[in-house]
Amino acid sequence: MKNAEFMQLMAEVTQLNHHQRNQMIAVLNQHNDTAKAIEMIESRVDAKNTCPRCGCANLYRHGLVSGLQRYRCKQCHKTFNALTGTPLTRLRHKSKWLTYLEEMNQSRTVRKSAANVGVHRNTSFRWRHRFLTWISQDCPDKLHGITEADETYLLESNKGKRNMDRKPRKRGGTANKPGLSGEQVCILVARDRAGQTLDFVVGTGSLNKMRLTTALKPVLDIDVLLVSDANPTYMAFCETEGISHEVVNISQHQRVKGAYHVQNVNAYHSRFKMWLERFHGVATKYLSNYLGWRRAFEQHRNLTPKMLLNAALGNFQYLTVT
Ligand SMILES: [Zn+2]
């Protein structure tokens, strides 16, 4: 815009009525959000400055596509942008991403978020899980010291899936068979006393030694003292792996044994389940995304949409563990 035209526009801004002024602000905010989102996205390439395919650092700029700088690699001749190879590649409407992430920050449902942001329900669903793909990968490498572990169960859900091999339950619903069965999905949570937490969707049916070993063996530091309830699976695992172990016998009403208890992890289970209720049943397939989403709230206080966007882009260093 020429300067003279801009001065004219500025002069006319004062004549806008209330409604027009709000519309103008909305347009400006949207541009602002786009600019903010694009700046954060572009910083990925600025930070690495290499081709995601061959790792070559010899790049040249090759036009703009959907507001993002496109690069061409001099070695493999492929083009890419800052989102290539990330779960967010080819998602549209970047002007709405930060607004959408605020919906996620408020734990709103797919439907409600869609209405608030002004996107289709399917878009809302797709965005949620694309954003969560890497947000849910933000977790500690190892747990240290006294570490509580316990499993909990949720009813398996094929929400959204066609051609089910059993009669669908009313959402939420109750199991067709009493007790623990293949209808229940086992979730294992381990938490150390620094509050670092790891969660695992270990499969349908009960926890066994193999499942426990697969989940916990790689993430327990050598100094770990594992605390569990009297489920013999934990004892068998700790014996085989040479891990120090304390048992709290909850069925014998022994909730605390000195510093040893599983109350932190049990409280974590209930916070997760309570939080999950607002979504009215979550497909088992997406359960680990929801666990990761919940973990983000648990591990980082005062999350902002920008922090969530960074995590969705794999820039976890912007999130500080509290
Ligand atoms: Zn290349």
CA of 62 to the centre of ligand 1 (A): 14
Rounded to 5 degrees, what angle do the CA atoms 311, 316, 320 make? 110
Instruction: Give pLDDT, residue 322.
Output: 37
Tell me whether residue 319 is exposed, middle or buried, using C-beta atoms within 10 angstroms of its C-beta: 0 to 12, 13 to 18, 19 or more.
middle
CA of 315 to the centre of ligand 1 (A): 22
CA of 76 to the centre of ligand 1 (A): 4
Specify the pTM: 0.86
Instruction: Give pLDDT, residue 301.
Output: 84
CA of 225 to the centre of ligand 1 (A): 46
Instruction: Give pLDDT, residue 46.
Output: 74
Instruction: Give pLDDT, residue 243.
Output: 97
CA of 44 to the centre of ligand 1 (A): 16
Instruction: Give pLDDT, residue 163.
Output: 65
Q: Alpha-carbon distance 139 to 39, whole Å?
A: 25
SS3 at position 185:
strand
Rounded average pLDDT over 107-125: 97
CA of 79 to the centre of ligand 1 (A): 8
- Helical (H) or strand (E) element with 197: strand 197-204
Lowest mean pLDDT among 41-50, 200-209, 259-268, 272-281: 41-50
User: Beta strands 68-73 and 225-228: pairing type?
Assistant: unpaired
- Helices (DSSP H) in the chain: which residue ranges? 3-13, 18-48, 97-105, 110-117, 121-135, 209-216, 232-241, 263-276, 287-299, 305-312
Amino acid identity for residue 288 in this structure: S
Instruction: Encode pLDDT of 268-309 as tens digits.
Output: 999 999 999 999 989 999 999 999 999 999 998 889 999 999
Instruction: Give pLDDT, residue 162.
Output: 64
Q: Which residues lie near ion ligand 1 (Cβ < 5 Å)?
A: 51, 53-54, 56, 73, 75-76
Rounded average pLDDT over 54-82: 92
100: number of Cβ within 10 Å: 26
Residues paired with 190 in a beta bridge: 149, 198
Q: Alpha-carbon distance 151 to 305, whole Å?
A: 31
Instruction: Give pLDDT, residue 169.
Output: 64
Instruction: Give pLDDT, residue 3.
Output: 92
SS3 at position 76:
coil
Tell me whether residue 82 is exposed, middle or buried, using C-beta atoms within 10 angstroms of its C-beta: 0 to 12, 13 to 18, 19 or more.
buried
Q: How far is CA 74 from CA 50, 58, 82, 134, 299, in A?
A: 11, 6, 17, 29, 41
Instruction: Give pLDDT, residue 99.
Output: 94
Average pLDDT, the chain: 90
CA of 55 to the centre of ligand 1 (A): 6
CA of 83 to the centre of ligand 1 (A): 15
CA of 53 to the centre of ligand 1 (A): 5
Rounded average pLDDT over 225-250: 95
Structure tokens at 119: 């996107």
Q: 321 pLDDT band (50/70/90 cuts)?
A: very low
Instruction: Encode pLDDT of 117-161 as tens digits.
Output: 999 999 999 999 999 999 999 999 999 999 999 999 999 988 776
Instruction: Encode pLDDT of 75-104 as tens digits.
Output: 999 999 999 989 999 999 999 999 999 999
